[in-house]
Structure 1
Amino acid sequence: MKKIFLIFSFLLSLSLFSQQQEDAWFFLKDKPDTASYISNPILMLSQRAINRRNNLQITINATDVPIHKSYLDAIKNSTGVTVLGKSKWLNAIHIQATKTIIDATFTNFSFIERVEFANKSFNSSSQKSIKKMVSNHQNKFNNSQTEFNYGSTSDQIKMLKGDYLHAQDLTGKGQVIAVIDAGFPNVNTLEAFKRLRDNNQILGGYDFVERSNSFYTGNNHGTNVLSTIGGYLENEFVGAAPDASFYLFRTENAAVEVPLEETLWVEAAERADSLGVDVINTSLGYSTFDNANYNYSYADMNGKTTFISRGAEIAANKGILVVNSAGNSGNDAWKYITAPADASSVITVGAVDKDSNIASFSSFGPSFDGRVKPEILAQGVSASVINHTTGAISSSNGTSFSSPIMAGLIACLNGNEGFLLKSFKRGKTEKAKNFNDFLKEAVYKSADRYTNPTEQHGFGIPNFKVALNSYIGSTASLEEEYFATLKVSPNPIVTNFRIEGLEGEVKEYKVKVFDVLGKEVFKQKGTIFNNFDISSLEKGVYFIRISKNNQYKTIKIIKN
């Protein structure tokens, strides 16, 4: 009898195992409609997105093409299979079914290239032991220890010299930021967001968790995060990019931690890209799940393993500046950054206090493959935020807030109305490096530990005054080869300058001078032998553009 009972128990366990619903991604082999979509990109991208790609010289390709409808429909109509999400960038469909059905479906459809299970033990390439970690989803936003105060955002902005950007009228105007988070309750009613609403700076949003256009719902985390970028109370609170515009996307269900949230994040990033967003901020990270079989190990934090990090890397390659919090695990057994902060092109932000001391909770790098992570730091201890219920100014802790502060200032640095992008062009030798690379390099090099990064500080605290001048200088030097020898002399300039470097050339050139905001302050036609008088201009940094036909060179100058 005991033997029969044991056999029955074994068969029962097998039966239960076969009925267990598993998360998996079907990766598809191709997109049969690719040629027709690429020949008509407006079918998949907004004009703003197309313009951003053109400005950054980023090619529209097959990753922009939607998943083939007949493939998606076939999987949707498969018995026992539930489609939860999809990614055109990764050409993948997120499904849920029993392992038996998933295996059978994979066998039935020749257009499925491979299957990746969230449970790593089911993947043939992942039979090694999986490091199990205790699920932490219940407390993932609870490290925001809020207490009321009525200070301002002065410390968190001035620490980074963000006030210098604002003084140059670089306040995010013309920049579009997507905030991907857990919810945005009361953004549509609180006084601190009235300026955004009145100026139509909230362009839209979507709740990917509920598949709903009502996005002022969910957890308050996103409301707090948004306030550090776009909140405004006159004489009391100013976000890092008060004149930027926003899309608000909810992808995180705060009550659970499931692999679907990774897919929803990638869906939101794809939506942001198609709308022409310039910057994404996300104060989320993934390493452990409710089902411990889905957990990641530190070895997975290599920027290439997790679904979300692969999506984040593509987002950056599409020309979006992706900014992500490092995480708040510095005091835990798991002390490392989480996905997608591990992606190589993501700007990962740790936390310090107002006195520039590292926050003990700020997660450590490097990435598993040895890259500097986090790259930079901002205030995340007692950061000023707007309370989602009362609308009062509060203080909160977490890299959840250092990240959006940084994202806002990066949007400001990116230039009002995209001026820097519109004003300068690469030469033929610089096509492999886009403006976002120059911007990130300028920010990293301005940081106080750039020459001596650490596992928790990264490159340290950036100085956006230094970064602005460096960024402008680097983009201004991207020149057409024909004008490579042209120079302005003297430089710095007191009253007059000459254009030198094309000896023997007597052709007439157009000469224009712009201030740092892109405003034209001087223009004149002349030859390289002329003296140009700019004595009427105030002291400061300017840019001289010398042009002939379709060729030009932009040179940074200093007026003394």
Structure 2
Amino acid sequence: MKRTGLLLLILSFTVLIVQAQPAVIPINRKLSPLLQNNRKLFSDKKEQVFWIVTSNIDSARNYFRTKQLQVRILQEHAGGLLVVSASGPLIDSAVLNQPFVRFVDVPRIPHEELAVGTFDNSLNTINLVHSQYPALNGAGMVASVKENKPDTTDIDFKGRYISTPQTSSLIASHATYMATIIAGGENSFYTGSGVVPAASIVSSNFATLLPDGDNVYRQYGITVQNHSYGTGIENYYGADAAAYDASIINNPGLLHVFSSGNSGNLVSNGPYAGISSMANLTGSFKMAKNILTVGATDSFGNVAFLSSRGPAYDGRIKPELIAFGEDGTSGAAAHTSGTVLLLQQYYKEKHGGPLPPASLIKALLVNSADDRGNKGPDYQSGYGSLNAWKAMQTLANEQYSSGSAAQGGTQTLTINVPANTRQLKVTLCWLDPAAAANAPKALINDLDLELVDNSGQVWLPWVLSPAPIIDSLLKPAVRKKDDLNTVEQVTIDNPIAGTYAIRVRGFAVAGGGSQPYAIAWQTEAPDQFQWQFPTAVDYAKSGEDNLLRWSSTFNTNAGSLEYSLDKGASWQTIGNTPALSQGYAYWHAPDTCSIALLRMTINGQVFTSDTFTISPLLAVHVGFNCADSAMLFWDRIRGIDTYRVFRLGQKYLEPVITTSDTSLIVRQPGNFLWYTVAPLVMPSRPALKAYTINYQTQGVDCYLKNFLVDLDNGNTGLLMAEIGTTLNVKSVTFEKLTSSGYEPLQTFQPITILYYEWADKNLKDGVNTYRVKIELNNGMIIYSSPQSIYYFLTTRYLIFPNPVKTTSYLSVLAREEPENTYLLLYNTLGQQVLQYRLQQTVEMVPLHGLTSGVYFAMIKKNGKKEFTTKVMVQ
């Protein structure tokens, strides 16, 4: 036994010595797995981009210069990372073997991890934060979206997008969705509402997978950067992972939030090669320790099928969180990024300016997450589902602390746990120094968390098995020492009331210094119930199924669910209430526009919701869009007497007028083009706003919405016209162009409908031209643009216009596809002045060079005359 122990000790020291000597790492350890498996990338003599991690940038620069190597340094990053341009053979023969080179990789092409199309900020209780903390809206905060450029003309970003040199030139809808989820201003519709609608937005091109420079984050005040993209499944700690860990260390108030990926059903590689549906995070950068990696759930909190799973390459718990993202992990990351800004803003305002360290925000989010799947953390859902409200409560109640642990030292914090607590949860988090690229294990400084009660009983953190066997990866967490993760969590169910000691020990802290950390804790009381949807800021859709949400700590599963439309004077039961532990129920709201209440009765206790609004979807239309004015109108809603009109101001929608009418005249020209309307269920309470419209782009002209003519049954002209409104319209007339001008065909009066139709059964051979005449009550006349029908009755060809201008074109229409057919023009002297081959049934013949006068037109097919006419050229 002693001999075995001695051998293990010698082996341990050997491993430590090898890890401490990066210069003697074998050549293949200097290559990323991608390059190890694709050595042919070194055979291409064309210049390409490489990432080279050096022990000393100056040594690398001097070497390139002294040897006169064709290596161009494009960028320099913290941790000795160089982005260079060089040929593969040169890197392979002259650079890779140098002692200062620690790691070489190539950048990969990123791709967005799907866009979300479903709006739901209630699953992760973001709406509850909005309701209870209305002043928290992201004002003064800045979020960066690293991918392509969002549509900066989107009205949900008006006045809040900041252009920077880092912005991509490519505009993508995916980037627009992510920016909307994080910081949409709700100008377009309620689904355009972001987590922090007053935050500023910048974007950074993800053409480079490395973080932006520290100066960029500081210059623009960026405190969260969202990364909803991936590459392939990459199970190693890359130069990019080290760069992101260093980025947060260098900017301790900054947090990078990554989507886990949409490869949850794929087979892993690297240390977990061959294992299906596990260890399939999409990108080596997601192996960083200090970031947040977020998986996706459906509307019920279940991990989405395609959401990428952990562990990280070295067995660490990934993702740390899951959040709503029914169509992909992109939206899950964006919801989390927005929540980070909410917490940062609260902390900043409460503490007079400074930002919270990223370790504290991470600890708050992890500790407050709702446990999913196996008890404790797991590789599918991490530490649970994002709960913005609980995180905010932990911050508001100051259930957090920070400290610093030295090598071998222990820091102790005591907390009081009240009686009847259902669960005590404590989470430790620290920002760990960046490891060497391609390190077999990423952890540098190892801290240990313990929870001790009055009797001396010790609880250790939950730890998962990292063994590369599917059965091991699916095992529930056990309590033991954690020597992999920078996040450690202890929970105790039904703890005994009293004082508990939280101990943080510096088990292995490199360099003789100390490691800062953050701790968050919470206690869960029994017999608690809280409505999560709807809150005061939410809308239930009238006449539709709405997903009600709540949280409950009652042991019983029985409850009675009711609603009221008269401020609680009377109540109506909602079907069969599902189990309280389920946390949701569908409710088909009545077809009305009204304020409402919900209540849940449990064991005689009544829990009433906020007053919320049941609202139908109103539509705003344009009646006319004339030079001096435009008219907006909307349908009247039963039971609603007043409406509020909003227009888009400098950044947000602003109220214009409250009216009992259902139309509004907008004077032109004006500076405001975007309008919407909301019914008022109470004098100061608008219901759901309609989609916001730009009244100049709705296809409505000055009263006339559209005018179409068509040939029907080969011999009838079908005329169709639609006006935008009947307001002030006296008559609508279809007119036809004759030799003496336009003549009326049919007049409609009085005007009670918007759509009109007429059939002209007297078509003439050739061109039949029509227009619509609209007469208003004040005598004003409005004409449409002319529309024509071409009718072949006795002829096979039509030539027009006649007369035609010398600078214009002569249109030639053929009844059938022409073959070997030519148009010939002759002047009055009989000289041929133009020959044009007709190849299509519609031809535009240029007349440039012809002088004014009368010409004879002839069409010949296969040398035979088929058609003649006179053409006047002006």
Q: Tell me the TM-score normalised to structure 2 length.
A: 0.36
Structure 2 unmatched runs, 5+: 1-38, 269-276, 404-411, 416-874
Q: Distance in 2 between matches of 1:478 and 1:342?
A: 25
Asked if 2 retains the 8 angstrom alpha-carbon contact of 1:22 and 1:117, the reply is: no
Query: Where does 1:68-87 land on structure 2 (aligned, <5 Å)?
Result: 71=61, 78-87=68-77
Asked if 2 retains the 8 angstrom alpha-carbon contact of 1:230 and 1:240, the reply is: yes
Distance 1:368 1:420, change over 3 A: farther
Distance 1:370 1:70, change over 3 A: closer
Alpha-carbon offset, residue 28 of structure 1: 4.5
Asked if 2 retains the 8 angstrom alpha-carbon contact of 1:175 and 1:416, the reply is: no
Q: CA deviation digits over 1:445-484, x for unaligned, max 9?
A: 21111752222111221222221121233467679xxxx9
1:160 and 2:124 matched: yes
1:178 and 2:110 matched: no
Asked if 1 retains the 8 angstrom alpha-carbon contact of 2:113 and 2:329, the reply is: no
Distance 1:307 1:287, change over 3 A: farther
Alpha-carbon offset, residue 424 of structure 1: 9.0
2:366 corresponding residue in structure 1: 444
Q: Could you tell me which amino acid in structure 2 is paired with residue 440 of structure 1?
A: K
Distance 1:29 1:307, change over 3 A: closer
Among residues 72, 83, 86, which one is paired with 1:94 in the alignment? 83
Q: Could you tell me which amino acid in structure 1 is paired with residue 244 of structure 2?
A: A
Among residues 100, 103, 120, which one is paired with 1:113 in the alignment? 100
- More deviation, 274-283/372-381: 274-283
Alpha-carbon offset, residue 359 of structure 1: 0.8
1:495 corresponding residue in structure 2: none
Q: CA deviation digits over 1:484-524, x for unaligned, max 9?
A: 99x9xxxxxxxxxxxxxxxxxxxxxxxxxxxxxxxxxxxxx
Question: Any idea what SS the aligned residue of 1:378 has?
Answer: strand
Distance 1:164 1:460, change over 3 A: same
Distance 1:108 1:325, change over 3 A: closer
Among residues 167, 180, 193, which one is paired with 2:157 in the alignment? 193
Q: Could you tell me which amino acid in structure 1 is paired with residue 200 of structure 2?
A: S
2:305 corresponding residue in structure 1: 360
Q: Distance in 1 between matches of 2:392 and 2:113?
A: 35
Please identify the structure whose Cα radius of gyration is greater: 2
Alpha-carbon offset, residue 352 of structure 1: 0.8
Q: Distance in 2 between matches of 1:145 and 1:76?
A: 52
Q: Could you tell me which amino acid in structure 2 is paired with residue 415 of structure 1?
A: Q
1:238 and 2:183 matched: no
Distance 1:77 1:205, change over 3 A: farther
Asked if 2 retains the 8 angstrom alpha-carbon contact of 1:241 and 1:412, the reply is: yes
Asked if 2 retains the 8 angstrom alpha-carbon contact of 1:414 and 1:420, the reply is: no
1:217 and 2:217 matched: no
1:330 corresponding residue in structure 2: 264
2:248 corresponding residue in structure 1: 316
Q: Could you tell me which amino acid in structure 1 is paired with residue 368 of structure 2?
A: S
Alpha-carbon offset, residue 74 of structure 1: 6.0
Asked if 2 retains the 8 angstrom alpha-carbon contact of 1:206 and 1:250, the reply is: no
Alpha-carbon offset, residue 287 of structure 1: 3.3
Alpha-carbon offset, residue 400 of structure 1: 1.1
Question: Any idea what SS the aligned residue of 1:158 has?
Answer: coil
Distance 1:76 1:176, change over 3 A: farther
Question: Any idea what SS the aligned residue of 2:293 has?
Answer: strand
1:470 corresponding residue in structure 2: 394
Q: CA deviation digits over 1:171-227, x for unaligned, max 9?
A: 22222222111x11422x122222xx2xxx3233234xxxxxx64534432222111
Asked if 1 retains the 8 angstrom alpha-carbon contact of 2:162 and 2:202, the reply is: yes
Alpha-carbon offset, residue 366 of structure 1: 1.6
Among residues 227, 232, 251, which one is paired with 2:206 in the alignment? 251
Alpha-carbon offset, residue 403 of structure 1: 0.4
Identity in percent: 22
Asked if 1 retains the 8 angstrom alpha-carbon contact of 2:298 and 2:325, the reply is: yes
Q: Distance in 2 between matches of 1:107 and 1:349?
A: 35
Q: Could you tell me which amino acid in structure 2 is paired with residue 325 of structure 1?
A: S
Q: Distance in 1 between matches of 2:360 and 2:86?
A: 45
Q: Could you tell me which amino acid in structure 1 is paired with residue 145 of structure 2?
A: V
1:24 and 2:11 matched: no
Structure 1 unmatched runs, 5+: 1-12, 31-66, 121-134, 208-213, 253-260, 289-295, 382-396, 426-433, 488-560
Q: CA deviation digits over 1:52-93, x for unaligned, max 9?
A: xxxxxxxxxxxxxxx779949966995533444332x12322
Q: Distance in 2 between matches of 1:435 and 1:219?
A: 32
Q: Could you tell me which amino acid in structure 1 is paired with residue 80 of structure 2?
A: N
Q: Distance in 1 between matches of 2:211 and 2:401?
A: 35
Q: Could you tell me which amino acid in structure 1 is paired with residue 336 of structure 2?
A: M
1:54 corresponding residue in structure 2: none
Distance 1:164 1:69, change over 3 A: farther
Distance 1:118 1:478, change over 3 A: closer
Q: CA deviation digits over 1:8-58, x for unaligned, max 9?
A: xxxxx99x937365543344454xxxxxxxxxxxxxxxxxxxxxxxxxxxx
Q: Distance in 2 between matches of 1:72 and 1:250?
A: 30
Q: Distance in 1 between matches of 2:286 and 2:396?
A: 27
Q: Distance in 1 between matches of 2:88 and 2:169?
A: 37
Q: Could you tell me which amino acid in structure 1 is paired with residue 226 of structure 2?
A: N
Distance 1:90 1:220, change over 3 A: farther
1:282 and 2:248 matched: no
Q: Could you tell me which amino acid in structure 2 is paired with residue 326 of structure 1?
A: S
Alpha-carbon offset, residue 105 of structure 1: 5.4
Distance 1:103 1:179, change over 3 A: same
Q: Could you tell me which amino acid in structure 1 is paired with residue 348 of structure 2?
A: G
2:238 corresponding residue in structure 1: 306
Alpha-carbon offset, residue 101 of structure 1: 2.4
Q: Distance in 2 between matches of 1:158 and 1:409?
A: 12
Question: Any idea what SS the aligned residue of 1:174 has?
Answer: coil
Question: Any idea what SS the aligned residue of 2:289 has?
Answer: coil
Q: Distance in 1 between matches of 2:231 and 2:363?
A: 27
Question: Any idea what SS the aligned residue of 1:461 has?
Answer: coil
| Structure with the largest fraction of strand | 2
Q: Distance in 2 between matches of 1:72 and 1:243?
A: 48
Alpha-carbon offset, residue 159 of structure 1: 1.4
| Structure with the largest fraction of helix | 1
Among residues 352, 355, 358, which one is paired with 1:422 in the alignment? 352
Q: Could you tell me which amino acid in structure 2 is paired with residue 436 of structure 1?
A: A
Query: Where does 1:359-438 land on structure 2 (aligned, <5 Å)?
Result: 359-381=304-326, 397-416=327-346, 418-422=348-352, 435-438=357-360
Q: Distance in 1 between matches of 2:171 and 2:339?
A: 26
Q: Distance in 2 between matches of 1:220 and 1:461?
A: 27
Q: CA deviation digits over 1:283-331, x for unaligned, max 9?
A: 122336xxxxxxx4x3x1xxxx212111111122221111110100012
Q: Tell me the TM-score normalised to structure 1 length.
A: 0.54
Alpha-carbon offset, residue 439 of structure 1: 2.3
Distance 1:408 1:72, change over 3 A: farther
Aligned length: 351
RCO higher in 1 or 2 (8 Å CA, sep ≥ 6)? 1
Q: Distance in 2 between matches of 1:76 and 1:322?
A: 38
Q: Distance in 2 between matches of 1:72 and 1:162?
A: 53
Question: Any idea what SS the aligned residue of 1:267 has?
Answer: coil
1:430 corresponding residue in structure 2: none
Among residues 380, 385, 408, which one is paired with 1:461 in the alignment? 385
Q: Could you tell me which amino acid in structure 1 is paired with residue 50 of structure 2?
A: A
1:203 and 2:162 matched: yes
